[in-house]
Structure 1
Amino acid sequence: MFLTRFRVNTARREARQLLGSPRRLHGAVNMSFAEPPGRDGNGPRVLWRLDRNSRNEVLLYLVSPSRPDLTHLVEQAGWPTADTPGWQTYEYGSFLDALAEGGTWAFRLTANPVHHVRFKDGQPTKRTAHRTPRHQIGWLLKKQENAGFEIAEKPAERRLLEAGDEYQLIVHDQRGLQFGKTENSGRHDVTLTAVTFDGRLRVTDPDALRRTLTSGLGKAKAYGCGLMTLAPVR
C-alpha cells in the first residue's frame, strides 16, 4: 500500500476545473495507474481526498495498492517547471502493520454520511444525506465499532455543553456536490453531501482499522469520500 500527497496549484485554470468536478478528479486519479485496482468487494482500492486547508493550500491525498504516477496532474494542476516532482509517495504497509490495539491517533476523514428514509407508507426507502453535525456525528459513532476504532471522549471538565460535546471530534467543511454521470442507462445527475471529521480515536481492532484505512468508510468513495488518515497525537 502507498500513501501519496499532491499539492494543487489553485492559481491554474485547469486546477480549478478539477477542484470543481468530483467526476473529473475521479478520472484524473484513475489515470495515475496503468491498471487501476478494482472497486468490487471489501479489499484495498484507490481512495482519494481533498484537504482544503486554505484558499492557496489544497492537498490531494491518495491511498492505493500500487504506486501512482501523477505526472499528468503536475502538468494540469501543479508546477510543471519546478525542481521537485510535485508529489510525495510513501510506503504505507509498515505503518499499517504497526497499528496496535489501544493506540491513540489524531484522524481526518471526509465522508458522505447517509441514512435511509421512507417518506410515505408503502414506498421503498431512499438514501438521504445527514444534514446536521449532530446527525453526522451520530453516523460516525454507529460506524466506529465495525471500523476498528472508538472516538475519544472529552474529559468532563473540558465539555462546554451538558449534551452534544462529549467527543474529541469536530465536523466542518460541509459541501453539497452535484455533477452529471453517464452510465449504460444514460446520463443522470449525482447529488451528495461531503463533510470532514477531525478528531482523536483509539484503536480497538487493528485488523478492522487496517481495512477501513485501505478500503474506505461509507459511500461515494469514487468521488473523494471515505479516506481516513491518521497522525500522531500532539
Structure 2
Amino acid sequence: MTYLSRIRINPLRAESRRLLANPRAMHGAVSGGVPGAPDGERVLWRLDADNPHRPHLFVLTRSKPDWRHIVERAGWPDAEGEHAAIRDYFPLLRQIAIGREFAFRLTASPVQNSHAPLNPTPAQAARLAATSEADQKRPRGFRLGHRTAAAQLDWFLTRTERWGFEVPVSRTDAPAPGLVHVGDEPTSTDSDTSDIGPARDVRITARARRSFLKNGKGPRVTFQSATFEGRLRVTDTAAITARLLEGIGPSKAYGCGLLTLAPLQGRAG
C-alpha cells in the first residue's frame, strides 16, 4: 500500500526550527518514521509553509509510518486535533483518468546539464582541470540549478507531457486592446511575441536556495527549489501515476519531487 501523511509542525519549538531550516535534518526525521532500513523504500516529502505559523509536512510512503517522534519533538503533542493524519493513497489514484483535471502542487529542483559552468565551484573546477585534453571521450556534464523564475517555469512546462499531464490555458479575461500576456505581466505588442504561447494555469509560489553539508560534515550540497501550483489535465494515466508515486526531478531526499493533487472545487472533473 501507499500512504500520504500530513503532520502539523509547531515552528516555535527548538527542534522545529532545526528541521525547518535544514533539509538534511528533516530528511533524517522523515526517515525515522518508516520501519525497516532507511534505504528500503523511496520516501517523498514536502514542507508547505503557506502559513509560517502553521507549517505542514507532507510525506508519501509505501509502508505505514509512525510520526509520534516528530509530533512529540516538533508539534503540539498535548493539544487537541489530529497531529499526524495518515491516509491510504489508493482512493486518489483510483480517480486518475484521461481528461480529468486537478489542482496540483509540486516543489521541485529545476536543473539543466552543462559541460562548461560559468562560475564553477572548486569541485567543478578540479574536475574540469583533471579532464585530459587528449581524452576523446566527452566529459560528463554538470547538473546546474535554474536560478530564475522564468527558467524554472520553462523547465516545468516543457516536461509535463512526459509526466502524463498538461497545464491548460489560464482562465483569465482577455487583455486590453494593444496588450498581450507574457507570463504573468502584460507587455506591448510592439515586441516580438511570436514564440510566446498563451498563459498557462500555473504559478510559482515559492523559491529558495538550499545549502548544507552532507551528513553534517561531508561535501556541501546546494540546490535551487521552486514550488509550482495550478491546474493540470491528465493525458497519460500510467505516466502521471508513476510520477505521483516516484516523484519528479532531483533532490528528492531533501524535500523536492512530491506532486500532490486535489479535486477542483466547484468544477466537474
TM-score normalised per structure 1: 0.90
Q: Equivalences for 1:4-153 in 2 at 5 Å?
A: 4-35=5-36, 38=39, 45-84=42-81, 86-119=83-116, 124-153=140-169
Rounded Cα–Cα distance in structure 2 between residues aligned with 1:116 and 1:37: 29
Unaligned runs of 5+ in 2: 118-127, 129-137, 185-198
Of residues 251, 254, 258 in structure 2, which corresponds to 1:223?
254
**Partners of 2:16 and 2:73 within 8 A in 1:** yes
Partner of 2:188: none
2:220 to 173, 189, 195: 189
C-alpha separation between the residues in 1 aligned to 2:29 and 2:171? 44
Deviations 1:125-173 (A, max 9, x none): 2111111121111111222111110111125744684332410110121
User: Identity across aligned pairs (percent)?
Assistant: 39
Alignment partner of 1:198 out of 229, 239, 245? 229
Q: How many residues align?
A: 228
Return the alpha-carbon distance in structure 1 between the equivalents of residues 180 and 229 of structure 2.
19
Distance in 1 of aligned mates of 2:32 and 2:203: 33
Q: Is the 8 A contact 1:151 1:168 kept in 2?
A: yes
- The answer as to whether partners of 2:102 and 2:263 remain within 8 angstroms in 1 is yes
Report how far residue 233 of structure 1 moved: 1.3
How far apart are the structure 1 equivalents of 2:231 and 2:86?
A: 25
Q: Which runs of 5+ in 1 are unaligned?
A: none
**Which has a greater percent of strand?**
1
TM-score (norm 2): 0.79
CA gap of 1:158–1:27, structure 2 versus 1, over 3 A, is farther
Classify 1:164/1:201 alpha carbon distance in 2 versus 1 (closer, same or farther; 3 Å).
same
Larger Rg: 2
Match of 1:170 among 175, 195, 203: 203
Distance (Å, rounded) in 2 between the aligned partners of 1:59 and 1:36? 25
Distance apart, 1:7 and its partner CA? 0.9
State the Cα distance separating 1:54 from its structure 2 match. Answer: 1.7
Amino acid at match of 1:131: R
Mapped contact 2:113–2:141 kept (Cα < 8 A)? yes
Relative to structure 1, the CA distance from residue 11 to residue 167 in structure 2 (aligned partners, 3 Å threshold; closer, same or farther) is same
* Amino acid of the structure 1 residue aligned with 2:70: L
Alpha-carbon contact 2:171-2:201 (below 8 Å) kept:
no
Q: Is the 8 A contact 1:175 1:194 kept in 2?
A: yes
